Structure 1
Amino acid sequence: MSKASTCTTDPLNILNYDCACLVLENLDLQSLGNAEEVNEVWKETIQSWMTGSGLLQHFPDEWKKVTTMQRDNNETAELPRYNRALKVFKNSAIDQLTTEAWKSGHANSLVLRNADVTHRMCPRWVGYLGGLSGAGEFLAWCETGRVLYKHVDSVHPAHELNVGVSSDQVAHMELHAGGYLLVVVLDADRSSNHQHTERLFDLKTGKALWSRDLPPDLCADLTGDGEEVDFKPLAMGWDRIYYFARERAKLLVRDFRTGRLLHTLHIGLFAQGFWAWEKSRVWRLRDRDVLVMFQHAPGSRYTNIGAVHLIDTVSGETLQRIPVDSSEECTLVTSTRRDEVAFALVWELMGYTDRDSFAVRTQTFDYDRGTGKFVERGVQDIDLTHLKGLPVGWFYAGVMQYDPFRGFMVAADMEGQWTRVISLPGAQDQSSSRGQVEPAVSSIVMGRRRAKAATVNVPGLVRSAIIGCGGKRLYFLRQPRGVFHDSVQVNIFEFGPKDEWRLQAGQGDSLHGPSSLA
């Protein structure tokens, strides 16, 4: 329908409201969104329908919640109910369209422009996203001695950040979704007298907010060949940064925007067993930061996880211990669906039924706001051995990322010959029994809009890998063929309708930290 529609051709100028609703019932979500843009009459009519029979037709569970809330609160005013129902419809539509886009493999666009890299990073830094740091709407990377950053939707070239040194002295970078970049600068030369520092930059101004010196004895550990990684924060929260003290049983809590030490916690649990420190993260539950820690199983120093611990960052007490019963390495994935506070543990099971078989196991947990605990939803096994559209034994040479809540995984081979989206049953379909489900396979293609040129080269030593998958974006990197290439090409695909980055500010209960990609 054209914006130039006239009274004689516009059906909404002819049909009464009830007849118009019969027409709207036959439009899909994407068409409804497009029709809203025709003119004000269409917009008002469609939005009115969305708040009533439209919500009931497309999202009956959400309609029930809205009407129940209205009844329980004895609401009589029409405007609050109308606004709430409209917001629920639009949010639900965005979530559904995003999920459908992922499962079909239809990306809307590629984001980011080309950047040429000739510099090889310090191996200590390579490996975190292949040299790319991403959070929220921001990206940062190193290129030919420089630190660059940009907003993913910006059409302007990347900005250079003046960190005071060449990028080959950068040992760690971590983005905060609020638009901040934490940089750790080290000198790899043992005999150097140069100072080792940690600095926080505000990307909106390009200025350093604070800088602090690292302890000399810590730097001595870092420049050797040991396994100490204390120069990196244990985890980053919205307003706090968490570090290990040099005594492993202590946790240092610093203010994010000033770097000032707020308090030190003694956590005796840290002295027990072995921990996967690099997996640590911060969740926001009941208006406070909760530190999520992964403990290796007894007898397994660096491989499979034996338990997930949730630790109160104010008192230091363990809020919940979730045992992990598996001999395989697991990955934790949080839901990016709106208003769903849940996570899943995902295992790749080689030799599932025989030597040449492969399956994925998901164990899902929901947050109970009443008890403040996570409750198991169910466990599901999905046999992926014989997938149409993929070569036999693809899983031996593939890299994979999972979203069990939206119900898909992305797989690519290490040679860069193919990339596929595999549609899985969503986590909402799980039951307590382990069952096998027949997945579907789709190629990743661009949608109707023409994609922009969208790559950035960052240092790395991998041949091909998916480096991040969640929410609306797929971060995919590939190294050119050849042993001597110093660069990795990164493509960032975006799925679903444009929407604000809503997993932000640490408001309410959230399993998304400020340094996460989702």
Structure 2
Amino acid sequence: MSYSKGNNKPAQVSNMDFLTRAFQRLAIQDRRPPQAFNFDCASLIFDHLAIEDIFRLERVSKTWRDYVRDWMSGPGMHKLFPDAIRANSEAGAGIGSGKRAGGADPADRFKRFLREGTCSERWETGRANVANEYVCSNVPHLHSSSPGIYTAGDYLVYTSGWHIFGTRLGQEKGAGGTPSSYPVRELDAANANLRRAGDVRDIRVHASGLAVVYNNSVHNHCWQTFDIKTGNMLWTTAIPQYINARDYNVALGWHRLYRFDKDLSVLDSYDIRTGALVSSQQTGLILEPTWGTRQGVIWRLQGRDVLVTIDARQVDPSDTLSKKKMLCIMDTETHQIIQRIPLEHANAPRPYQQRCGPLVHVSSRHDDHAFAVITAGCEQDGAGMQQVRTIRTFQYHAREGKFKERTIEHVDLRGFRFSNRTAFDIDPFRRFLIAQDSSTGRLCRYPTPYVFAASPHTLPPVPASPLPLFVGDDTTTPYPVVMNPPKPGATGATFASPWKAKVMRNRLYLYYWKKHSDDGVTLRANTRTVALTFGSSAPSIPDPEAATCLHHPDGLAEKEM
């Protein structure tokens, strides 16, 4: 959503500077609204105040709060987000009218649009406002795409030794107003019953601040659900001993936990807060979801939870490099397939090379109910990285209850030289990619012009200039999270080796190993994650009560299915 700054000054307004300064003082110290003051006067002044001062006025008193929220719902929305008004004009009374649209408060929608505009501006300049780093030592062998470190929304959980820790990302204001990181809490050590690190088979983080732990110890084969904010365990339930790693298929909805067997013929649902079994039913389906433990995610369409998974049955045995799959969207209550979307992607020619998807990205823009599927071709560079990616974008149409294909684009990476083929991600909606630059070893942002094209091999094979990432508004030194490994023979050198980068909404997650080189031997010291936040420190999760929401709460930084 674009943020219209425009020319905020009327042609001639006498004493406007004086009035603005007066209102700034009111925003800070005065709790008494002026006598005979009306909304038109307030609106005129709000047009000339900084957003920060308007937010301060909202906290002064109820009268000021009402004035501010009325301005946000009407004149403020028209002034700052005119394209939002046009895009939603077909919905009737809604954005900018001062009335609730689709169950959302107009003032809250204004704040969401504002956060997105700030976030987009920071992505454009590559400037994060805060970076949080966490260390995970003694990583067990977990059946997950993020060994030892797990993220969802504003929360992060990681293992260290035989312990599980959780925290909230971002910063809070401490004593005296000084910003500091949120506290790290151990998740109920007395009840976790971990006898060895390998007892933790998998962890799912819920964006509301919950952690679901799959405990696979001999004496305690169960789920355990913790409140990350307090560290307390909420509930636990036993899992049949015959369930192995490939049969452990769990997807988290905003209010339900769903478990299904490996062919999706049985679907169980539990209350996410209490662990009570809500239903257990035969689905009548026989699917072959993708490998691993993350075999489906939960979206919400028109107030109903739907399971989104990929059926991998339709394989052409004569073609070893391509695999046809179907993206399946199933109603969790009726078990009817709402839609099947054919997909096609290429397998890596060798098992150890990068797996090429498909990757599913959901639009980060507010009220844009769209997702993109990224698939890769067979053309690779010397490191086994696919050179051409295809992006298919789908838009949800509520009247038909279906997704319709919106665009097809291609990402052409010929001419680029990346140091790492896994520390790489594409944002198809904000139109940039994150990768490790081969010349500096830094993680960089690559802009649109040399990346996106309407058809493959139409872009000049000239690399775009990478933009380094910074933390803080005044910093001139790029954030040094990634360094090239030392030269052969170097001793006593410590360096970082990234293994995954993920862009999700207002954050960039980088997972990497901290390594130490001594006498020609490279040792892995620990696993770390860095969360770079771009834009507002307000909660980054979408509205959990929205009737339609494509952002699943189960690991918002995990998008591969």
1:178 equivalenced with 2:196 (yes/no): no
- 2:546 aligned residue: 507
Contact 2:167–2:229, Cα closer than 8 Å, also in 1: no
- 1:212 aligned residue: 237
- 1:264 aligned residue: 280
Residues 37-46 or 154-163, more deviating: 37-46
1:474 equivalenced with 2:508 (yes/no): yes
Instruction: Give the Å deviation of 1:385.
Output: 2.1
Write the distance in 2 (CA, Å) between the matches of 1:405 and 1:147: 35
- 1:444 aligned residue: 469
- RMSD of aligned residue pairs (Cα, Å): 4.6
Instruction: Give the Å deviation of 1:129.
Output: 2.1
2:365 alignment partner, SS class: coil
Instruction: Give the Å deviation of 1:503.
Output: 1.3
Residues 314-323 or 156-165, more deviating: 156-165
- Residue type of the partner of 2:540? W
Instruction: Give the Å deviation of 1:398.
Output: 5.3
Unaligned runs of 5+ in 1: 1-6, 188-192, 223-227, 387-391, 456-461
2:286 alignment partner, SS class: helix
- Which of 148, 164, 176 is matched with 2:193 structurally? 164
Deviations 1:333-359 (CA, angstroms, capped at 9, x unpaired): 111211111100112445389999823
1:60 equivalenced with 2:82 (yes/no): yes
- Residue type of the partner of 1:291? L
Greater RCO (CA < 8 Å, at least 6 residues apart): 1
Instruction: Give the Å deviation of 1:417.
Output: 1.4
1:10 equivalenced with 2:28 (yes/no): no
Q: Check 1:335–1:436 CA distance in 2 against 1; reply closer, same or farther (3 A cut).
A: farther
1:257 alignment partner, SS class: coil
Instruction: Give the Å deviation of 1:437.
Output: 6.1
- Which of 115, 121, 128 is matched with 1:94 structurally? 115
1:243 equivalenced with 2:253 (yes/no): no
Write the distance in 1 (CA, Å) between the matches of 2:546 and 2:201: 31
- 1:358 aligned residue: 387
1:316 alignment partner, SS class: coil
Instruction: Give the Å deviation of 1:256.
Output: 2.5
Write the distance in 2 (CA, Å) between the matches of 1:66 and 1:248: 38
- State the TM-score, normalized to the length of structure 2: 0.70
- Which of 443, 449, 453 is matched with 1:419 structurally? 443
Q: Check 1:211–1:352 CA distance in 2 against 1; reply closer, same or farther (3 A cut).
A: closer
Work out the percentage of aligned pairs sharing the same amino acid.
Answer: 23
- Which of 116, 121, 130 is matched with 2:147 structurally? 130
Q: Check 1:52–1:184 CA distance in 2 against 1; reply closer, same or farther (3 A cut).
A: closer
Contact 1:51–1:85, Cα closer than 8 Å, also in 2: yes
- 1:106 aligned residue: 127
Write the distance in 2 (CA, Å) between the matches of 1:140 and 1:356: 30
Q: Check 1:166–1:359 CA distance in 2 against 1; reply closer, same or farther (3 A cut).
A: same
Write the distance in 2 (CA, Å) between the matches of 1:283 and 1:426: 33
Q: Check 1:315–1:102 CA distance in 2 against 1; reply closer, same or farther (3 A cut).
A: same
Instruction: Give the Å deviation of 1:216.
Output: 2.7
Deviations 1:58-79 (CA, angstroms, capped at 9, x unpaired): 533223357776xx5599x986
- 1:372 aligned residue: 401
- 2:424 aligned residue: 400
Instruction: Give the Å deviation of 1:363.
Output: 0.4
- 2:486 aligned residue: none
2:124 alignment partner, SS class: helix
2:344 alignment partner, SS class: coil
- Which of 279, 291, 294 is matched with 2:307 structurally? 291
Deviations 1:64-96 (CA, angstroms, capped at 9, x unpaired): 357776xx5599x98659x97655544333212
Write the distance in 1 (CA, Å) between the matches of 2:113 and 2:129: 19
- Residue type of the partner of 1:295? D
Contact 2:128–2:534, Cα closer than 8 Å, also in 1: yes
Write the distance in 2 (CA, Å) between the matches of 1:257 and 1:51: 34
Instruction: Give the Å deviation of 1:500.
Output: 2.8
Deviations 1:180-229 (CA, angstroms, capped at 9, x unpaired): 21112223xxxxx62322212233443333222222333xxx4xxxxx42
1:316 equivalenced with 2:335 (yes/no): yes
Q: Check 1:504–1:128 CA distance in 2 against 1; reply closer, same or farther (3 A cut).
A: farther
Unaligned runs of 5+ in 2: 1-14, 24-38, 173-180, 348-355, 482-495, 517-521
Q: Check 1:198–1:434 CA distance in 2 against 1; reply closer, same or farther (3 A cut).
A: same
Deviations 1:111-140 (CA, angstroms, capped at 9, x unpaired): 35x55x54231x134x43231111122111
Contact 1:111–1:454, Cα closer than 8 Å, also in 2: no
Q: Check 1:179–1:376 CA distance in 2 against 1; reply closer, same or farther (3 A cut).
A: same
Q: Check 1:508–1:445 CA distance in 2 against 1; reply closer, same or farther (3 A cut).
A: same
1:113-152 matched pairs, under 5 angstroms: 115=135, 117-121=136-140, 123-125=141-143, 127-152=144-169
- 1:342 aligned residue: 370
Deviations 1:47-66 (CA, angstroms, capped at 9, x unpaired): 98876776556533223357
- Residue type of the partner of 2:336? E
- Residue type of the partner of 2:204? E
Write the distance in 1 (CA, Å) between the matches of 2:94 and 2:532: 45
Contact 2:411–2:453, Cα closer than 8 Å, also in 1: no
Aligned residues: 471
1:226-241 matched pairs, under 5 angstroms: 228-230=245-247, 232-241=248-257
- Which of 202, 207, 217 is matched with 2:227 structurally? 202
Instruction: Give the Å deviation of 1:422.
Output: 1.6
Write the distance in 2 (CA, Å) between the matches of 1:51 and 1:246: 48
- Residue type of the partner of 2:83? D
1:234 alignment partner, SS class: strand
Write the distance in 2 (CA, Å) between the matches of 1:302 and 1:262: 42
- Residue type of the partner of 2:156? L
Q: Check 1:234–1:395 CA distance in 2 against 1; reply closer, same or farther (3 A cut).
A: same
- 1:458 aligned residue: none
- Residue type of the partner of 1:499? A
Instruction: Give the Å deviation of 1:510.
Output: 0.6
Contact 2:156–2:167, Cα closer than 8 Å, also in 1: yes
Deviations 1:117-170 (CA, angstroms, capped at 9, x unpaired): 54231x134x43231111122111111321111122353531111212246021
